[in-house]
């Protein structure tokens, strides 16, 4: 991996429209049971405009930004050696069906740990108005030769 | 599973160390395919034994993001709304091997780790285990109860 990657910012991803059925599908896949993710009346009764996505849903948008990083020849990351090290989501508000989300990735850290290297990618996710929704931070571990 | 609409927990009745939820999940290969489709993560180590073993794994493993996604669900149900999750982080420390016939049983215990009375934020610490060993490290959820 290229150590000069630290501080590198990528252009915003194409807008991702959060579909109501996608929220339900994702919620079922992570064993969610909260009615706010399935039942429109329940979501509205709780004060939301539409279905509320489970907390980890924004990985779908972050992945689009990570694809940019992984595809970058200058980054020189061997995808077959990548392991997910850690993950964090920091919310200003939850993701709601109907949101149009855009993620902008910055490489905030590049570290070597023996034969392995670690890259921390922070993706700031905003809505169509440009307001912050969630910051999604992934650390990827790239395994070296052993 | 029973569907329940829970009221917001009363912050003032919480004590550090309280176990607020315990749940276990049965993962099958079907669960992994469902998560792959819902999330768009089609890395074949999550559904093909030949690929998984070729990269040195003992077999097909669950997506780390599926483990992260389901581990927070007992907290979401306790909080009464996914929107109350302000921050959620984990480290991925061990893989969950999903047997083609018997699947995998994953257990989650959620405990109050810290209380910020001023912000009325509870930090809930998660212990997620498979085969008697933890699979996540520093798994913490900040829940706003104000």
- Per mean pLDDT, which range of A49-53, B4-8, B42-46, B118-122 is the poorest? B4-8
Assess whether pLDDT exceeds 60 at residue A146: no
CATH number, residue A111 = 3.10.129.10
Give the pLDDT mean for B19-24: 97
Q: Do B77 and A30 touch (CB under 8 A)?
A: no
Report the gap between the CA of B36 and the closest CA in chain A (Å). Answer: 9
Give the pLDDT mean for A66-79: 88
At A16 the pLDDT is 98
Give the pLDDT mean for A108-131: 95
In this structure, is residue A40 part of a structural domain?
no
In this structure, is residue A26 part of a structural domain?
no
Q: Do A36 and B83 touch (CB under 8 A)?
A: yes
Phi, psi for A27 (deg, rounded to 5): -60, -45
Total tally of structural domains belonging to chain A: 1
Give the pLDDT mean for A104-111: 96
SS3 state at A30 = coil
Burial class (CB in 10 A: 0-12, 13-18, 19+), B94: middle
In this structure, is residue A92 part of a structural domain?
yes
Of A119, A124, A89, the C-alpha closest to A107 is A119
Instruction: List pLDDT tens digits, range B49-86.
Output: 999 999 889 999 999 999 999 999 999 999 999 999 99
At A57 the pLDDT is 98
CA atoms within 13 A on the CB side of B79: 30
In this structure, is residue A64 part of a structural domain?
yes
Domain region containing A104: 3-19+57-142
Q: Spell out which residues of chain A touch residue B1, defining contact as CB-CB under 8 Å.
A: 33
B138's enclosing H/E stretch is: strand B136-144
Q: CB-CB: which of B3, B31, B89 is closest to A35?
A: B3
Give the pLDDT mean for A25-53: 97
Of A31, A84, A67, the C-alpha closest to B21 is A31
Residues facing residue B99 across a β-bridge: B103
Assess whether pLDDT exceeds 70 at residue A133: yes
In this structure, is residue A43 part of a structural domain?
no
In this structure, is residue A89 part of a structural domain?
yes
Domains observed in chain B: 15-27+62-144 (3.10.129.10)
A146 or A11, greater pLDDT: A11
d(CA B129, CA B108): 7
What is the predicted ipTM? 0.95
In this structure, is residue A45 part of a structural domain?
no
Give the model's confidence band at B4: pLDDT under 50 very low, under 70 low, under 90 confident, else very high.
very low
Assess whether pLDDT exceeds 90 at residue A123: yes
């Amino acid at each position: 991996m290229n150590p000069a990657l630290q501080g590198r910012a990528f252009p915003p991803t194409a807008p991702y429209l959060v579909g109501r059925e996608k929220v339900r599908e994702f919620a079922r896949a992570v064993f969610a049971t909260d009615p706010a993710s399935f039942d429109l009346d329940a979501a509205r009764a709780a004060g939301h405009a539409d279905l509320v996505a489970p907390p980890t849903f924004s990985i779908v948008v972050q992945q689009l930004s990570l694809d940019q990083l992984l595809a970058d020849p200058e980054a020189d990351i061997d995808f077959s050696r990548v392991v997910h090290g850690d993950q964090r989501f920091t919310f200003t508000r939850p993701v709601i069906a109907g949101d149009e989300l855009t993620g902008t990735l910055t490489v905030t850290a590049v570290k070597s740990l023996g034969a392995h290297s670690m890259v921390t990618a922070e993706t700031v996710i905003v809505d169509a108005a440009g307001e912050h929704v969630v910051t999604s931070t992934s650390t990827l571990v790239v395994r070296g030769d052993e | 599973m029973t569907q329940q609409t829970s009221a917001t927990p009363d912050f003032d009745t919480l004590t550090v160390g309280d176990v607020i939820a315990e749940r276990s999940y049965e993962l099958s290969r079907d669960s992994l395919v469902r998560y792959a489709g819902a999330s768009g993560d089609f890395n074949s180590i999550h559904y093909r034994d030949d690929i998984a073993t070729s990269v040195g794994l003992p077999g097909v493993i669950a997506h780390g993001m599926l483990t992260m996604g389901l581990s927070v669900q007992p907290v979401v149900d306790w909080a009464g709304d996914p929107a109350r999750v302000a921050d959620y982080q984990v480290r991925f420390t061990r893989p969950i091997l999903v047997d083609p016939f018997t699947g995998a049983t994953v257990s989650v215990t959620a405990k109050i780790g810290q209380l910020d009375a001023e912000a009325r934020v509870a930090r809930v610490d998660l212990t997620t285990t498979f085969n008697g060993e933890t699979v996540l490290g520093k798994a913490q959820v900040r829940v706003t109860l104000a």
